[in-house]
Amino acid sequence: MKNPLKNIRATVEGDWAQYERFLRKELRSDSPYVHSILNYVFANRGKGLRPLLVLLCSALNREERPADQATFIAAMMVEMIHTASLVHDDVVDEAYMRHNHPSVNALWRSRNAVLTGDFILARCFSVGLGSGQVSIVTHITRCIDLLSEGELQQNCHSQTLSLSRQEYMEIIYKKTASLLSACCTCGAMAAGADHDRQRAMKFYGDQLGLAFQIRDDILDYLPGPTGKPHLNDLRERKITLPLLTVLETIPAARRHKLLRLLSDVRSTPSNAALIRDEVIAARGIEMAEAIMDEHLQQACRALDPYPASPFIEALVELTRFVGARKD
């Protein structure tokens, strides 16, 4: 399948090729067994949005200077943390498909998937700290507790079935936007950008990241080639923005009915489709899309201080990609 980010990646083609070599060299094991799992994980990795953001934000702030080790370390760390979190997430969610292929837990069992995630995370830190890039490593590290905290908060809300808009935004910031934001900030840091530019990059990443997770939450409601089972969030009793906006706008009696359907979804899985139909009829998808679009516009506004360049074009194009992506 063609990578939808291929054209955007062409803007930093040389850096990307160097990054791929760097990653391959650092993520290896002398054990053929471990090596085969790592190979499988990286052969079936995602689109590479996070390392691409690092390379683009670094190039934007470097002005013609070649990328140095700090940029590749940051790109490697965000990709490894993201990959380890997905390997663990599939164990936690008991999910057997990832990126259209069987998950690591499906092929090697949960115990080996947990250890593979641990290995990737450990390698990420040994390479990161060994490089001496302390401020970049410190900044990226802060995301790991946010990721885990966001996931735990989400689980808590799927037990209680109560969620405010503010709590939803906090969860999606922690579980998704924080790492995308760190990609942009660390790309700028690696390029030696000043404080104002680092802040502009952080704001772009925050907004892009929030929109990215909102799009993910919308996609769960739409049948299509996401590589993930349809209505998974509802089956896990997760209230996400399409349902949340509907719950905020309908009368109390209908709200209670919807929450009752959600509360029983584990014993009656067909409730998920009933909730989806209500959400679609009450225009929850459109309301969530409007909120996502606001964040994407804010992301573009963060780029205003920069003069036009192919890297700015690529970052704007990425906002369009995030808003329209199908998987």
Nearer CB in complex with Mg ion: 89/217:
89
Q: Which does 39 bind (CB under 5 to 8 A by kind): Mg ion, ligand FPP, none?
A: none
Q: Does 92 bind ligand FPP (CB under 6 A)?
A: yes
Least CB distance to ligand FPP at residue 148 (A): 4
Report if residue 117 touches ligand FPP, rule: CB under 6 A: yes
Name the residue nearer to Mg ion (CB basis): 93 or 170: 93
Region from 145-153, 180-188, 270-278, 280-288 binding ligand FPP, contact rule CB under 6 A: 145-153
Q: Does 287 bind ligand FPP (CB under 6 A)?
A: no
Residues linked to residue 20 through DSSP beta bridges, in sequence order: none
For ligand FPP, the binding residue among 84, 163, 177, 186 (CB under 6 A) is 84
Indicate the angle between helix axes 284-301 and 310-324, nearest 10 degrees: 170
Beta strands in the chain (DSSP E): 97-98, 101-102
Q: CA separation (Å) from 35 to 45, 118, 160, 264, 290?
A: 15, 14, 42, 43, 44
Amino acid at 322: V
Question: Please, what is the minimum distance in Å from the beta carbon of residue 176 to ligand FPP?
Answer: 5
Q: Is residue 105 near ligand FPP by the rule CB under 6 A? A: no
Confirm or reject binding of residue 314 to ligand FPP (CB under 6 A). Answer: no
Q: Which residues pair with 98 in a beta bridge?
A: 101
Is residue 177 at the binding interface for ligand FPP, with CB under 6 A as the rule?
A: no
Based on CB atoms, which residue is closest to Mg ion, 97 or 316?
97
Residue 323 engages ligand FPP in binding (rule: CB under 6 A):
no
| CB-nearer residue toward ligand FPP: 18 or 153 | 153
Q: Which stretch binds ligand FPP (CB under 6 A): 31-39, 87-95, 104-112, 244-252?
A: 87-95
The angle formed by the CA atoms of residues 81, 85 and 89, to the nearest 5 degrees, is 175
Which of ligand FPP, Mg ion, none does 117 bind, CB closer than 5 to 8 A by kind?
Answer: ligand FPP
Q: Using CB under 6 A, pick the residue from 58, 61, 71, 85 that binds ligand FPP.
A: 85
Between 89 and 206, name the residue whose CB sits nearer to Mg ion.
Answer: 89
Q: Measured from the CB of residue 312, what is the shortest distance to ligand FPP in angstroms?
A: 28
As a whole number of Å, the end-to-end CA separation of the chain is 12
Q: Interface residues for ligand FPP in 225-244 (CB under 6 A)?
A: 228, 232
* Min separation Cβ 8 and ligand FPP, Å: 21
φ, ψ dihedrals at 102, nearest 5°: -55, 140
Residue 73 parent element (H or E) = helix 69-92
Q: Which is nearer to ligand FPP, 228 or 295 (CB)?
A: 228
For 218, the enclosing helix (H) or strand (E) is helix 195-219
When binding is defined by CB under 6 A, the residue of 71, 103, 176, 319 that contacts ligand FPP is 176
Residue 9 contacts which entry, Mg ion, ligand FPP, none (Cβ below 5-8 A, type-dependent): none
Token pair in block for residue 314: 């690529």
CA–CA gap between residue 279 and residue 274 (Å, rounded): 9
Within 10 angstroms of residue 32's Cβ, the number of other Cβ atoms is 7
Q: What is the DSSP letter of 10?
A: G
CA angle 250, 220, 92 (to 5 degrees): 115
The alpha helices in the chain, defined as continuous H runs, are: 6-9, 13-26, 32-43, 49-62, 69-92, 104-108, 110-130, 134-160, 165-172, 178-190, 195-219, 232-235, 241-249, 252-263, 271-281, 284-301, 310-324
Q: How many binding residues for ligand FPP (CB under 6 A)?
A: 18
- Provide the binding-site residues for ligand FPP, judged by CB under 6 A: 81, 84-86, 88-89, 92-93, 117, 121, 144, 147-148, 151, 175-176, 228, 232
